[in-house]
Structure 1
Amino acid sequence: SASNGIVMEYLPRGSLESYLVDRKKRIALTHLEPDLLRFIMQIAIGMVALQKHRIIHRDLAARNILISARPNSSYLDVKIADFGLSRSIPTSKDEYIDSSSLFLPTKWLAPECYSSNPRFTMQSDVWSFGVTGFEILDPTSKVVSMLPSDPSILTRKFESGWRLEKPGEMKKWMYSLLLRCWSMEPEDRITFQQIVELLG
Structure 2
Amino acid sequence: MTRLDQPVVLTRIQKKNIARISEAALSVFSAHGFRGSTVDQIAREADLSKPNLLYYFPSKEAIHAHLVSSLMETWLDPLRDLDPEGEPLDEILTYVRRKLQMSRDHPRESRLFAHEIIQGAPNVLDLLTTDLRDLVEDKVSVIAGWMAAGQLAPSHPHHLIFSIWALTQHYADFDVQVRAVLGDPDADPFPEAETYLTTLFTRLLRPGE
The two structures share one fold, judged by TM-score above 0.5? no
TM-score by length of 2: 0.32
Larger Rg: 2
TM-score by length of 1: 0.33
Whichever structure has more strand as a proportion of its residues is 1
